């Protein structure tokens, strides 16, 4: 357990915040030990910090950080078994290197595998939930491991049932892929993946700290970024938080943005879209 830790390295917005107590377990036994130490105290769990807004300058409750947790990847035939703490990009690379199709368009998405499963990360018509064979999680109430098939996890657009199960922490994942290219796909898997990455790099603001898309797409069809751009809100800022000039669905940290700045700007965007389009858009990012 670490005390009085700056969380700058644990969130991709690069917001300055501190936590009185941080646990960074490497396996299930250490995770259980940390949970026993914390006891019934309120705590929060974060992975790579790529889909969160740190809204407080100081966290008085413990944080469990899973960036070092179960960092293993095994390729077994057309399957990949990996721990929740490995990066999604490492899993995608393992799949591509072994000629396994199903994750190649997720290249460039930051964060951990556990976080990707938790919110069913996806891009360009592909999502990780579609390839999940099973997920093993730890029930924090009795410290028992639970394994469920992908069909039991309620995967939908940017959602899994883990969002509702606050008492479980994802530990490991088995992913089922294929060595046959999808129908109509031209080129080898490496070229398809690199082409996808080039598209992401051209469209997304990798030059400034951000946490990707702030909002879910309404009805999975009309892009929030297009609405924000049409409203002339590109470049709109609240102190150090700004609507990206490259992609209006993303808020970037131009210098010293706080979580409060990011939240205020997100609230302005939601209000403008409600007023002009009559839509109540939903946050994709988690406010902690």
Within 8 A by CB and 6+ apart from 224, the residues are: 213, 214, 215, 216, 217, 218, 248, 249, 269, 273, 281
∠ Cα 187 213 175 (to 5°)? 50
Decide the pairing of beta strands 73-76 and 79-83. antiparallel
Catalogue the active-site residues: 158, 213, 284
Distance of CA 86 to the CA centre of its chain: 12
Within 8 A by CB and 6+ apart from 164, the residues are: none
* Backbone phi and psi for residue 31, each to the nearest 5 degrees, phi listed first: -60, -45
Within 8 A by CB and 6+ apart from 30, the residues are: none
Within 8 A by CB and 6+ apart from 183, the residues are: none
Q: Please check whether residue 140 is in contact with residue 169, taking contact to mean a CB–CB distance below 8 angstroms.
A: yes
| Distance of alpha carbon 103 from alpha carbon 120, whole angstroms | 12
Q: Please check whether residue 51 is in contact with residue 285, taking contact to mean a CB–CB distance below 8 angstroms.
A: yes
- Is the Cα torsion angle 275, 278, 282, 284 positive or negative in sign? negative
| Distance of alpha carbon 135 from alpha carbon 175, whole angstroms | 9
């Amino acid at each position: 357990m670490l005390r009085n830790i700056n969380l700058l390295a644990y969130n991709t917005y690069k917001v300055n915040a501190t936590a009185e107590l941080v646990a960074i377990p490497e396996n299930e036994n250490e995770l259980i030990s940390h949970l026993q130490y914390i006891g019934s105290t309120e705590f929060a769990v974060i992975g790579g910090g790529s889909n969160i807004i740190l809204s407080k300058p100081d966290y008085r409750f413990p944080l469990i950080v899973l960036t070092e947790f179960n960092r293993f990847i095994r390729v077994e035939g057309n399957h990949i078994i990996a721990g929740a703490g490995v990066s999604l990009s490492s899993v995608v690379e393992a799949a591509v290197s072994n000629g396994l199709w199903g994750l190649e368009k997720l290249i460039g998405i930051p964060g951990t595998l556990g976080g990707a499963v938790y919110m069913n990360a996806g891009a360009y018509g592909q999502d990780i939930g579609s390839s999940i064979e099973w997920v093993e999680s730890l029930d924090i109430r009795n410290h028992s491991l639970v394994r469920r098939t992908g069909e039991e996890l309620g995967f939908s657009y940017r959602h899994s049932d883990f969002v509702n199960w606050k008492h479980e922490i994802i530990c490991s994942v088995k992913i089922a892929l294929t060595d046959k290219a999808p129908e109509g796909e031209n080129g080898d898997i490496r070229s398809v993946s690199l082409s996808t990455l080039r598209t992401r790099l051209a469209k997304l603001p990798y030059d400034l700290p951000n946490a990707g898309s702030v909002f879910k797409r309404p009805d999975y069809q009309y892009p929030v970024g297009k609405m924000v751009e049409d409203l002339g809100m590109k470049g709109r800022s609240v102190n150090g938080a700004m609507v990206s000039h490259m992609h209006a669905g993303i808020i970037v940290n131009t210098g010293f943005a706080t979580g409060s700045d990011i939240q205020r700007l997100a609230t302005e965007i939601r209000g403008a879209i409600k007023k002009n389009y009559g839509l109540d858009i939903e946050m994709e990012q988690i406010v902690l």
